[in-house]
Amino acid sequence: MIDRITPAQTLALPMRQPNDADAATVREYLIKLLATLWDEGVDFDSKRPFESGNSGWKFDLYSALVASGAVDGGFDEDGGLNEFSAEARMESDRLITDAIQALGAVSAPAGADWSMLIPSPSKGTTGTPSGGFTALDGPVTVGADTFTLESAADFALGDIIQVDENGYGADPAAAECRTILSLDGTSGTVDKPWAFDHQDAAPVHVVGPPFTHII
């Protein structure tokens, strides 16, 4: 089992496929669960919340935590979750509860101009430096969801990274932020494709709120 992960890292964990919500990440699964509750109201079926789903839907989330190494457990030859102790289930419930709370953790200050938070492909997104710094080891291209860093020593699953084309703060219109979805050595994937090309050796920061646009 890996060290205890943060709520942001939990939200960024990839879901095992297939799952009842057809979700790519824990964040997407929880959002679809809430949206289903909202849409169905008093008709919401807590046992089978998703169409054609099963009564063990929580195990979709438990499996994502086990597969990532966040909690102890294993899978049988058919891919079903087993070797899942009561202690592991309690820890999984705690991680998911904390992740749900974190879904609303980023908010604009009172009186903020919400029009500045509208996503726009013609503008970049910048955040506030809060952790590691390195550079790209090779370019990234529009539409791809992969990256390679010169060093990943200060980067982790769930971190939000900002890539700057011409140096930190030099060209905000070409900067963008993405959440690390997977990390293997110095290479990884992000939660959605890059909107810009970024050149080899472009600076990469770990950042946090406030952001100039929704990410």
> How many folded domains does the chain comprise?
2
Among 74, 102, 130, give the residue marking a domain's end.
102
What's the CATH number where 158 sits? 2.40.30
85 domain residue, yes or no: yes
DSSP helix/strand/coil, 212: coil
Co-location of 55 and 124 in the same domain: no
The tens digit of pLDDT for each residue in 60-113 reads 999 999 988 889 999 998 888 888 999 999 999 999 999 998 886 544 444 444
**33-65: per-residue pLDDT in tens?**
999 999 989 888 888 898 766 778 999 999 999
pLDDT tens digits, residue range 159-202?
889 898 655 555 566 788 888 988 999 999 998 888 888 889 99
Radius of gyration of the chain (CA): 19
Q: Are 97 and 128 members of one domain?
A: no
Closest Cα to residue 197, out of 158, 172, 164, 167? Answer: 164
Is the residue at 111 inside a domain? Answer: no
* Domain range for 70: 7-102
Neighbours of 184 (CB within 10 A): 8
Determine the residue type at 98. D
Burial 97-114 (b: 16+ CB within 10 A, else e): eebbebeeeeeeeeeeee
Q: Is residue 108 part of a domain?
A: no
213: pLDDT confidence band, cut at 50, 70 and 90?
low
Which pLDDT score is estimated for 215?
Answer: 47
| 11 shares its domain with 91 | yes
Based on the fold, state whether residues 94 and 125 are members of the same structural domain. no
Sort strands 74-75 and 146-148 into parallel, antiparallel or unpaired.
unpaired
